[in-house]
Structure 1
Amino acid sequence: MRLRGILLGACAALTLAGPAGAETLTIATVNNGDIIRMQKLTDDFKAKNPDIDLKWVTLEENVLRQKVTTDIATKGGQFDIMTIGNYEVPIWAKRGWLLPLDNLGANYDEADLLPSIREAVSSGGKLYASPFYGESAMVMYRTDLFAKVGLTMPADPTWDFIAEAARKITDKNASVYGICLRGKAGWGENMAFLTALANSMGGRWFDEQWKPQFDQPEWKNAVDYYVKLMKDAGPPGASSNGFNENLALFQTGKCGIWIDATVAASFVSNPKDSTVADKVGYALFPTSGTFDNHGNWLWAWSLAVPAGTKKDKAAQKFITWATDKAYIELVASKDGWANVPPGTRASLYDNPHYQQAAPFASLTLAAIKAANTAKPAVKPVPYIGGQFVAIPEFQGIGTAVGQQFSAALAGQVTTDQALRSAQQLVTREMTKAGYIK
């Protein structure tokens, strides 16, 4: 069975050729289902813009981040369009690394973007990236496995309930694992989930003086919970699993609960790709039961134009095609309304066709609206973010901490050792960067 969103190899390049003398746009992008679909639909763009060729450089998420960050920081000029997230947009825009998107055309309808998503990809009131999908996080679970053990998923579950349910529905003899969570090291991989988990349990990355908080009980509770639960009810090799790997496990019936990005809902409910499409339920991202904090996950994969390109007009033409309302209609006509890119436009959630086709639509919208990136933690913090900390240094320290927790999940170190290492390395880097005086 073909699994959407998974590519063989770390990098794939695809060029769609046009007439001689055509201008070629090189697009760096991530290997997920919505972008792969976009690549298949670009004949529509080519028919409307025969003077523009497209060269796709498709990369695994961690590799993409390394490549585009290096290229834009060194003004390498390899790419004309970059796929980036709301972590990078405000930081890179302030450094002059991105061009404002001021030529998207009258039909783009910037006012239709969901306010939190629009704000996340803007700087100084100007749009610097155009989102092709937005997301928060949710629980996806197997309704048949819950019924088998006599459990009912609450609409607003606690982490204690999730742990109880995951252990009860695990059947390792049948290769059915109770829960799948990100384990692959990376600031946008395992640390996206673990930061959201810690936020929901009352944790925070830094106190108001930028002192790291990995030596505090909230982080210990969160990491202990994660490692113990994954040991009891998770799949083997979980420390290597990111979004795509867990998607594959869930689609093939090997995972009972998956807590991840809301965008995955359309993937797991699509019968063309998922063997359990008719057995999936949805719930809000869990809370601790003590704090009413759902982790504040908010993300938007977006298309941006690096300042070093000389093809900004052509780049904005493509970005308009790929992210306006007409593109949503195009996807719906080809693959059905349930599979359109979600989480960016208010008009989509007012559309009765989408409401009928996507049982997860209202929950996705509620999760996105509930995300408060200005106050991601229960306690006061000196940063904004959600499942990340919006400072330039986070890309490095987030991945370094992620490596420690991935090692703990693999059993190479204890959780206490991982937390001590995280505290030491983040303290060192934040002192060096001048945050800690």
Structure 2
Amino acid sequence: MRTQSRRRPPRATLAAVAAGTLLAPLLSGCWVGAGGAGSGGDSINVLMVNNPQMVELQKLTADHFTKDTGIKVNFTVLPENDVRDKISQDFANQAGQYDVATLSNYEIPIYARNGWLHEMDSYVAEDKAYDEQDVLKPMRQSLTGDDGKLYGQPFYGESSFLMYRKDIFEKEGLTMPAKPTWRQVADLAAELDGAEPGMKGICLRGLPGWGEVMAPLTTVVNTFGGTWFDKDWKARLDSPEWKEAVEFYVGLVREHGEAGAPQAGFAECLNNMTQSKVAMWYDATSAAGALEADKSPVKGKLGYAPAPVEKTESSGWLYTWAWGIQDASRNPDNAWKFVSWASSKGYEQLVGDEFGWSNVPAGKRASTYANPDYRAEAAAFQEMTKEAIEQARPDDPGVQPRPAPGIQFVGIPEFTDLGLKVSQEISAAIAGRQSVDAALKKSQQLAEEIAEEYEGR
């Protein structure tokens, strides 16, 4: 349930909103790429994050998309934090410098609400070859605005699940339940400590960041019965459910988690799992591709289970890097042609042919999971990933109604700052510098400041 209607405020207001809520400190220095070139005619400007699959896209564009359409694509490629800042500047001001940008399912509903994005329904209706219905339903829903229109198309998607060492479980005489609870996972972690020299039972993120420790922790809070805000925008971080969830998470990672947990994020846990320093890891489904890569020392040794639960049927998160077209784009038709190509079945086939099916930007289309080439290369995890994404409930992830969408985040502009500050308190508790009670007392005060802005809407 969303409480804000879609209005189009003046652009000066939009810029002020962005500066106050969506922007991190402004960057200095030079930008990478050709973003300075104006779009128009047979040229578009694309601003995107510098992850490996996007870099592969950049390599393939000229010889395939441009060759087939005559549309030149000028790419600007930046690290994640930098690209978010650059996108919010350009889109908030509707400067039109960039026609297309990579946005997540956190930003797209917010940007759509502010009138910064071009709707895509009209293009989807005409572009029958794109096959919108093949896009997994949770992905479509997460990229839909308050007005029911589509404002993004996914490049790839992910949920979260539990990864574990099958060989270590077998050696220790342990069995992973088909649908584990968090209590069962904690018991398993205790059994697995020291299963090999220096091995810990589980890896859980502890690194500060709304997209680091708060992502897995918020899914734990959800399934333990908690919520950041109730349906009336009352902050609930001082609730018994939040306390139980955070005490459980902090206790588990302190007792049976990885070394250096307060500084461990996705990358550190991936390294720990790859180097056999942990027996289990709860995190993004996208990690499986790296763990099962040809040169991975743990390839073929892993099992996968659904995200652990307590009071909910499922608890996996939902995330996608998607394409958004700026409303002020001078070339939206050509921008759509690029989006359609970059998120199509044909593009996935191209990547499979050129780089191998393990590199395909999956997690968005049902047809990917029916493709025999992909199923063969991703056999260990592909079905579990698809199920996790299909079971994700971004509008109803807990046991109570929510005032804003989101599973591992709250879909409001202020969450980037709120989530960061709360994460710092939680990380301090994981480090033993303060109690969980002290962390949640400070966090509740931070959330109440946000709640005051929304109550009564």
TM-score, normalized by length of structure 2?
0.83
Q: 1:45 to 1:237 in 2, by over 3 A?
A: farther
Q: 1:111 aligns with which of 133, 138, 142?
A: 133
Q: How much does 1:239 deviate? A: 2.6
SS in 2 for 1:388: coil
How far off is 1:168 after superposition? 3.0
Change (3 A) 1:228 1:67: farther
Please identify, of 400-409 and 171-180, the stretch whose mean Cα deviation from structure 2 is larger: 171-180
Q: Secondary structure at the match of 1:127?
A: coil
Give, in angstroms, the shift of residue 156 of structure 1: 0.7
Cα offset, 1:49, TM superposition: 4.8
Residues 1:388 and 1:306: Cα distance change in structure 2 (over 3 Å): same
Q: Is residue 2:347 matched to residue 1:324?
A: no
| More moved, 349-358 vs 172-181 | 172-181
Task: Return the match for 2:418 from 380, 387, 397.
Answer: 397
Kept in 2: contact 1:296–1:373 (CA 8 A): no
Tell me: CA distance 1:212–1:11, structure 2 relative to 1, closer, same or farther (3 Å).
farther
Q: Which residue of 2 aligns with 1:203?
A: 226
Match of 2:106 among 65, 71, 87: 87
Matched residue SS, 1:278: coil
CA shift digits 1:125-152 (9 cap, x unpaired):
4321110112221111111222232212
Alpha-carbon distance in structure 2 between the residues aligned to 1:257 and 1:12: 39
Please tell me whether residue 367 in structure 1 is matched to residue 388 in structure 2: yes
* Offset at residue 436 of structure 1 (A): 6.3
The residue matched to 1:180 in structure 2 has which SS? coil
Whether 2:306 is the aligned partner of 1:284: answer yes
* % identical aligned pairs: 42
Whole-angstrom distance in 1 between the partners of 2:264 and 2:83: 17
Matches within 5 A, 1:31-430: 31-42=50-61, 43-49=63-69, 51-60=71-80, 62-75=81-94, 77=96, 79-101=98-120, 102-103=122-123, 105-123=127-145, 124-171=147-194, 174-272=197-295, 274-288=296-310, 291-359=311-379, 360-430=381-451
Q: Residues of 2 paired with 1:11 and 1:399: CA distance?
A: 26
Q: CA deviation at 1:97?
A: 0.5
Query: 4+ runs of 1 displaced by more than 4 Å?
Result: 21-26, 172-175
CA distance 1:155–1:308, shift in 2 (3 Å): same
Matched letter for residue 135 of structure 2:
L
CA distance in 2, matches of 1:67, 1:402: 24
Paired AA for residue 348 in structure 1: T
The Cα offsets for residues 311-344 of structure 1, whole Å up to 9 and x where unpaired, read as 4334323222211010111122133334322221
- Matched residues in 1 for 2:157 and 2:90: separation? 25
Residue 130 of structure 2 aligns to a residue in which SS? coil
Q: Report the number of matched residues.
A: 420
RMSD: 2.9
Q: What amino acid sits opposite 2:371 in the alignment? A: N
Q: Which runs of 5+ in 2 are unaligned?
A: 1-28
Q: Distance in 2 between matches of 1:277 and 1:154?
A: 22
Give the secondary structure class of the aligned counterpart of 1:122.
coil
- Kept in 1, the 8 Å contact 2:168–2:195? The answer is no
Aligned to 1:179, the other structure's residue is in SS state coil
Distance 1:179 1:157, change over 3 A: same
Q: Under a length normalisation based on structure 1, what TM-score does the superposition of the two structures give?
A: 0.86
Listed as ranges, the gaps of 5+ residues in structure 1 are 1-9
- Which has the larger share of strand? 1
